[in-house]
Amino acid sequence: MVSVNDLKKGIVLKLDGDLFSVLEYQHVKPARGASFVRVKMRNVRRGTVVDKTFRGGEKVEDVKLVKRPMQYLYEEGEDLVFMDTESFEQESIPKKAIGDALMFLKEEDIVEIAMYEGEAVTVEPPQFVTLKVTYAEPGLKGDTATNVLKPVTVETGAEVRVPIFVNEGDFIKINTQTKEYVERTKQP
């Protein structure tokens, strides 16, 4: 059991028999009355996002997760197939359980998968990934007075805002937690 005051992003809770991953957390102390905690959580099995409010100091059940490094192999219908890098066992994980990590995932990437009772709960991609820009509108010459950003599409289909000097065919480094451009790089 853990106090709701100690919650943080990424913790997995068990409520009403379902597993929820904490996405956002806000501790509120009103001028009158008791404090409370607003939590935005994603149901791990269904992929739905719910908002829940807890009284300050309330206890909830947290679950202990086993993290394993796995390699993304391929997509199969509504699932993605991963391989354990130590035992070489393959595991199918539903796309909805992967969440936002899917935006920057490409074949052969190594990710950290948290398991609970043999079931994949969360997928954590590496903090930084290098991807190829597949579509970029050309930057306008002379439009450099301010920090101008433009949208580009990377090889996984995700859209990222980058400086105007980034062109189609360039490789860029992206922070997967903030979903932001970090730098232009050479080929990986």
Q: Please give the single-letter amino acid code of residue 118.
A: G
Domain assignments of the chain as residue spans, ordered by start: 2-62, 66-124, 128-185
| pLDDT of amino acid 142 | 63
pLDDT value of position 162: 92
**CATH 3.40.50.150 is right for the domain spanning 2-62:** no
The pLDDT value given to residue 178: 87
Superfamily of domain 66-124, CATH level 4 = Nucleic acid-binding proteins (2.40.50.140)
| Residues of the chain under the 50 pLDDT cut | none
d(CA 50, CA 13): 13
Instruction: Answer whether 66-124 and 128-185 agree in fold.
Output: yes
Give the Cα separation of 145 and 164 in Å (integer): 11
CATH number of this structure's domain 128-185: 2.40.50.140
pLDDT at 152: 94
How far apart are alpha carbons 169 and 148 in whole angstroms?
A: 20
pTM above 0.95, yes or no: no
Q: What is the pLDDT of residue 83?
A: 93
Kindly report the CA angle at 54 between 52 and 59, in degrees rounded to 5? 120
pLDDT of res. 147: 77
Could you count the other beta carbons within 10 Å of the beta carbon of residue 23?
Answer: 16
